[in-house]
A and B are shown apart, each in its own frame.
Chain A
Amino acid sequence: MHKLTFLTLGLLLLGAPALAAKTVGANLKSVGIVPGKPGGTYTLPLGDNPSTFNYYGAIDNNTYTVLNNVLESLVEYNLATYKLEPGLAESWTTSKDGKVWTFKLRKDVKWHDGQPFNADDVVFTYNNIILNPGVRANQIPNLTFGGQPVKVEKVDNSTVRMTLNQAAGAFLQPLRTFIFPQHVFAKVDPLKNPENFMKMWSTDKASEVVGTGPFKFGGYVTGQKVTLVKNPLYYKVDSKGTKLPYLDRLEYLIVRDPQAQVSQFVAGNLDEVNINGAQFPDLKQKEVAGAPFKIQRSKALFGSPPHWSFNFDVKDPALAKVFRDLRFRQAMQSAVNRPRVINDIYNTIAMLPGHGVSPISEFYVNTTRALGKYDLKAAAAKLDAMGLKDTDKDGFRNLPGGKNLEFDVTYGTDSTIYPPLITILQNDLKSIGVKINPKGILVANLLSTGMSSSFESMILAFGDQPDPQLRREIWQPGQALHYWHLSTRDKDGKPVFSAMQPWEKRIYDIFDQGATVTDPIKRKALYGEWQALFSKNLPVIMIAKADNLAAVSNKVGNFVYNLGPIPTYNTHTFIYMK
């Protein structure tokens, strides 16, 4: 024991002057992070082959999951608060008008191949890759402010200046995107030859991938495994001075079928697996019976709470009039039996949803009271008040033209949530004289069906994000993904204010202001007002928010629920094997 302490101390003393290591983890006690011990292999599942190892070469979650351990960005998430902290940038300053940001870069960071990291890497990555319209997974929309992409310049070897056309409150969020090594990519000219850039770091060239992250590439066997190994040059240490990451190896087994993933976990070949409410009871039973793993449940910041939308632009004018009437949407809201949905469909692993914002987000305003109670009588009364009565005595209410109050609900059949949800809605609504016709399609086709406006009503899920600004395309009327009211956007992508109801116009203004206001208190107030408007006017009806569930082997220490492939939310730096 003494020997070990001595050795560690000695190593520290030797290493300290050369590497001004960054101490992390002391502020993470609230999520259970403790000093761990080095060594060991941690094995995780991956849902499919990554399509490439070039982060900007594809939009693919498997690629992102792996690279999150290999690449880094200027800023990164704090695991406990989800607030942004310095990453490759040591510190930054903002000009008074909020338009000029100056980033000081860390000087002790090396690429996996030993080359030093510097301002050229940042400037090259932004100007030639991230802001390059020919690159497939570029980030131009996220980094465009006041109609202009951000201007990125080198000040000196360890200073970068970014200039915005307009102040932006959420500017740090998109800076979570990863930095690439200039010395590797300069040989292809991505601005001139984006095709050649895309071929770099494809899956047959895994050994060429170079990052600054805690892990570097070890190997890739198609269809079977991605191996990452510890980066011995990594600049972070824990609160006791032990070099991070603790793990020697981080392995992703490629297992496509979710049930096969659980089997592999139970057999002991995986140390962790993310599960859903449907898989929960069986595994919980095993845990209680003494299996060597624990089920961890946590509130989710990200994730996609399902909602119910009504197409304001539906072809049938009588139906469109009903859908645009707030009383109708309020009636439908009262007819959603949320307690039953949470109990029966989510196996209790869910909570009441927020309105566009996760209940654990710093922007969240408690709007649960606006969700109301499950009350079919109240729902029926609202419909009566609208004059929607059963005039032909066939059991269903009639629209003014005489047609039945009947519409399609498009939903995804290959989901564990949507089909039972539809059954519950259908039965409840039938009892108050509303006929819904379930129309099942593949989950993958839901959004495109919504965007083509060829639906009457739809159950769909959109992700919550740490900053509402990041989901502006969905919630701001007139934006590209505001699919239930597409007439608020013209062919050139400009907003059509005449098509908006007053509360929609106000939401439009809130998002426009929220984009430029930098004062955090003012931003919070603006987004609070939006959530209140959302919960009162119900552009869509929120259903429920699932919690995160994972099963973790007892051998694993410092497990923090992995939020999925969210850039720079890297929990594996702290994982250790007991």
Chain B
Amino acid sequence: MTYLQKLLNEGKFVITAEVGPPKGVDLTRFREIVRLLKGEIDVFNVTDGQGASMRLSSLAGCLAILSEGAEPVMQMTGRDRNRIAIQSELLGAYTLGVRNILAITGDYPTLGDNPQAKPVYDLDSVGILLAASSLMRGKDLSGNELRGEPPRFYLGATVNPNFSPLEVELIKMEKKIESGARFFQTQAVYDLKVAEDFSKAVSDFNVKILFGIIPLRSLKSAKFVSEVIPGVKVPREILYRLEIAPDPKLEGLRISAEFIKKIREYGLAHGVHIMAIGAEKSIPVLLDML
């Protein structure tokens, strides 16, 4: 059982945070962030070419996290690899100590920094989960037997509580659960009503939910988030607070802290997933406010 799985099963309110590997081989800053956050959060998500931009691999980032004595969640997209590469990398990651996997279809290459790349998408997020589940049963996706003890992953997936119509997202979430997902890290949520409605809608699903938190840094970043995340609406009251705050960055952290406290207090989720997108060093300030 992974540490993440253990904490969630014990009913602890889990805090995960996302870290993006560098564009290059200098892991100094990456390691600094991991050391800074290690005692504060529970596990680290390592992105896999987030936003379709070419970076150091998720697996290498996960190994750096393991070497710092922390636990990673390896994000695995279907954008750049076919099913042979995906299964092979899952097996490799397992032997290197990576157990938590987050299956993602992946942003389209033309949105990234190598827009000429061939999009692969041999497997979508459901397909990646099917492949990982199959490996866990000792067989590859085509039914060929694996040798020896099969890997034991803790599989996760993503869901967007802001998606409209929500029914589409819920049906897809059920497919992901049926394919092996046991925990979900959501897109960023700002509206308590959205969180409550989603929480109610998935109450029968018997999986662990971590609500996504992207701390806002300014009114401009609120606009950016609304443009980038499908369906997300930052409530007017939050926009107003960011507008009048003398220190919008600090106010953004305060807003996130208040939101996390409400999620915890009302029992709307099993934890939160913080995506600071470059501002990881401000996460301890946010956590101090809880």
Chain A partners chain B: no
Residues of A near any B CB (own CB < 8 A): none
Residues of B near any A CB (own CB < 8 A): none
